[in-house]
Amino acid sequence: MGTPRVHDDGPVRTVTLDRPGAANALHLDDVDAIADAVTDLPDRVRVVVLTGTGDRAFGAGMHLDVFRDAGPGDGREIITRLAECLRAVRTAPVPTLARLNGACLGAAFELALACDLRVAHSGVRVGLPEVRLGIPSVVDAALLPRYVGAALAQEMVLTGSVHRVDEPGVAPLVNRLVEDPSGLDAAVDDLVTTLLVPTREVLAAQKELLETWRELGITGSVDASVDTFAEVFALPATRAAITRYRP
């Protein structure tokens, strides 16, 4: 236990945060391992699922030892390595899905926000408590207002408050919400099944566009979308998909 476990089952790669004695808190080597697991994927892998060991936590964020053992000048390296990991997850060439099996805090919450989709059970708690340590919430915490709105996002990052995913204002964070942990796997399997229908090529292109849409205004986004459509439309995989499609 310690370094995240990576397991491939046909087209699905599962990355499991694996430090249950510390609520799956992350060390910097773990962050690097997650980035590696979603980069340069073999062609057979079509979806990546991220989850945590046990039923206590998806992840408690960065392990406190990372901060306690660091010198005053180490902050840039710490946050740069985390930012690179989250960027790798956000821009992975296949869909990424966070299976939230328990508390999801700090850097682990940012990891879940970086994923394309999220599945959770009622009672899972999410939050960005870093401010209580005197550390700002940064990098992919910037995605939070898109899901919960500006008012709640500002409250969460300014107070470090923790919320349940089944609260009305927080619920938009998740794509599937089940009553208890026993329903997580079925909900994940259902989403994975739908993600395996489109071609790998079109999903990679669509993910690139989603990133572009986050960064550009409407005019630039539309222009980029036209170019991407033309490129993907010409691919053999697209022609094959059109031929076999039945409504």
* Residues annotated catalytic, as ranges: 110, 130
Q: Measured at the alpha carbon of residue 69, what is the angle toward residues 85 and 158, in degrees to the nearest 5?
A: 60
C-alpha Rg value of the chain to the nearest Å: 18
Give all strands of the β-sheet with 47-52 in edge-to-edge order. 2-9, 12-18, 47-52, 96-100, 117-121, 176-178
Question: Rounded CA gap, 145 and 51, in Å?
Answer: 23
Distances (CA, A) of 174 to 109, 110, 123, 188, 203: 12, 13, 13, 12, 20
Structure token pair of residue 1: 């236990």
CB 104 within 8 A of CB 59: yes
SS3 category, 58: strand
Question: Rounded CA gap, 123 and 43, in Å?
Answer: 36
CB 79 within 8 A of CB 138: yes
Question: Rounded CA gap, 247 and 191, in Å?
Answer: 19
Distances (CA, A) of 28 to 62, 76, 126, 143, 161: 8, 13, 21, 22, 25
